[in-house]
A and B are shown apart, each in its own frame.
Chain A
């Protein structure tokens, strides 16, 4: 198992280097605008642009730039500086990450707590009114884009803006340590919105898997052995059916930690997603590069966790 984990971590690092190369090509080799022109601002003279190119090393050969870029990231954890504010991208990310983690963790807990039981009940009660109502609701939520749901939620329930103002609205987020109660209240609506679609996906996914698994021979065998139905469902059915859900969950967590752009933008939560949105709006390449790498890192790490976790969840998987 240890050898497997080490191998996966090494592959993860290689993957990160490849992502670095890809982002370098995207933002340094093929940028839509010369970063020095952006940094120079409006009306800058060619002389000043050249000076900035020298300062940023943009006049050096590409391989030198790439090597410096890799060195900064892997040895100094330095993602560069914003073209506009001059702030370190790492400090901006550090500043924004707690909000994104808060949003992600709460939303994940919600959609797992809602999605998995609903999926199981729907599968067990297949064809009943309960199943149809649950899957109908899931379909409706799946069809509703997150930003649309967010705006609807704001215009219905947000303070000052809503028809029934019962929850804090946009721009109400405060840090957990600053005011835990306000932190919780301000995230209720974003959590619900973000988890609604995901809960629907998870419930449908789990229902489908569970229905398939419950028709397998070994389930019939378990029942024939006289095991109680609850044990058959939980120990033999759900445990096997949940593996694909676990895979998706890992990837979703990784992706969300890279920034929930739409939710953060609409609710004005200053997380990685909003940072990314603003950076894209201003073509602030170093920030987009930084957040892209961060998202890639989260997804790679999540993948490793998922693969290792298989061994504990799925009885058919063993690493040697």
Chain B
């Protein structure tokens, strides 16, 4: 009878998750671990002992070339992939496969967060080389000749394939989630067919015509999987299905690897990819290492990559740490991070700049329309406690503003200390400063005495409930009456925090990961007023300050990268000044590997394993 109701099953799942965490810590105890001698939650304090004592490798400076070729890597991932179509994928795990099998026009080398290099393109477009003309409104890209598709297409890639790949993003059956980066192309938004803003004068040249001087933004966006060529002759019929079956049934590759597929049809479903079970990457026989520029040439050491999908994180972690030829693709459990920290320090890496979390505050309804109340709750929030709840200083650091490490403009906007405002100084909360701003907000006692209740909606998974409790407690300390509702994370976004008419006052632990190094990808969707939409909204606080909006447009249209970074730093400063939301922490992504693996993390992709550069020792 217990399988009758999904609700009961969900309950069982929750119970096992709790038990698994508890048992993992006891397993570490058996091994005589100091970390394991403490309850799972206490791993936070171990990790926060001192950031200077990190035993794990920081992936910056990792060896990329001159390593051993051959062998099979086993990749464990509790989570499944979401979309394996370059037009649809928008998830770190998907990206690990996309960048190994597809070639976008530009890419970030594994060791860089901010420097783009040509991949399918022959060179980075600049004003000097004629790639950027018309005051930043035209971008010309030449693509490498002799790049071949895998079977069954088996022909050279052309610029028309890149044009189709981008244009199909507007096809509702593909529904690419980041088409806003292409909205200034002439004729955008398209419907899936050709638009005036993309022309292909010859087989190796593609020209982008923009309505605004946003060449840098476009170039950044062309590093996303969407710019990987897609042959219309092969994908077109599949794109007529809703949703497209390109990427779920069949696909062709241009990168060094391909999803194992039937060579005569390209179909990988049931062969190279079995949803929820496994994915197999094999060498793409049509790939040639000579079709790259000198700035980026992936060595593709491995012969085969077997991804084993599913399972419990606290079982997968020890399998990797104690096993051989394997890595974990998704995030290791906190207990596993502690185990690796203590016993396998050379097998764990921490990648900074892997996203941020903050408390979204409703700027246009309720209590938080008053900027001084927002400043007060910011001042009082114990961000250091939240860092501990996240897992400690190895995996998180207190956030002080919204352009997080690894983004252009991070240094200009104050680096780790952030903009110098009184409410931003004490990461462990400062009640006196908070009360000062409550007084400025019109509450002479320093405590809120109004009648409104603050509705908080938080996630009920992992550490979200504990963080919500911290937020609840710090709000209550200022006299605010709080009603806290906890729901599962998809519901939190889709039914409450992402629906403006719900008028949720605060949503703790909303998270954001940049799409590429341009600060626009961190700030625009989340804080630009005109970007607010009635459902699936990502500007959770409905921030719509005309001055901020104007400054964002200025930054967006700044062609010079240095000036653009400074302009975005100014936007960041305005966001902090207006206390539009409360930054909680910046993420350092942990990743684990077996002792005989020379893994390479992509700094720009939350430290995800780069299969083109990873090798066996």
Q: Which residues of A contact B (CB under 8 A)?
A: 19, 26-27, 32-34, 37-49, 51-52, 55, 82, 84-87, 91-92, 95-96, 145, 147-148, 151-152, 154-155, 160-161, 163, 169-171, 251, 255, 258-259, 261-262, 265-266, 268, 270, 274-278, 280-283, 288, 291-292, 295-296, 299
Contact = CB atoms under 8 A, between A and B. Distances in A.
Contact of A32 (B19, B20, B270, B487): B487
B524 to A, nearest CB: 11
Given A43-B525, A85-B248, A170-B316, 17 more contacts: A27-B6, A51-B172, A51-B175, A52-B175, A86-B245, A87-B269, A91-B270, A92-B275, A95-B274, A161-B322, A259-B3, A266-B311, A268-B310, A278-B276, A281-B13, A283-B488, A295-B4
Contacts of A49: 535-536
A261 B9 contact: yes
A59 to B, nearest CB: 14
Given A32-B491, A145-B19, A275-B276, A255 B2 contact: yes
Contact of B177 (A19, A44, A51, A259): A44
Given A52-B172, A161-B318, A299 B536 contact: no
B20 A160 contact: no
Secondary structure type dominating chain A contacts = helix
B90 interface: yes
Contact of B80 (A85, A91, A266): A85
Contacts of B80: 84-85, 278, 282
B3 A40 contact: no
B5 interface: yes
A38 B177 contact: no
A277 B17 CA distance: 11
Given A86-B243, A171-B308, A265-B311, A45 B319 contact: no
16 contacts: A32-B490, A33-B490, A44-B175, A48-B175, A49-B535, A52-B172, A87-B275, A92-B276, A147-B16, A147-B19, A151-B314, A258-B3, A265-B16, A268-B311, A270-B276, A295-B3
Interface residues of B, number: 65
A190 to B, nearest CB: 13
B184 to A, nearest CB: 16
Interface string B236-248: 0000001101001
The 9 nearest A-B residue pairs measured at CB:
A295-B3, A268-B311, A258-B3, A43-B177, A85-B275, A51-B172, A86-B248, A33-B494, A55-B242
A181 B119 CA distance: 47
B232 interface: no
Contacts of B83: 41, 84
B1 A251 contact: yes
B178 A43 contact: yes
Contact of A41 (B2, B82, B308, B488): B82
A60 B23 CA distance: 48
Contacts of B242: 51-52, 55
B321 to A, nearest CB: 9
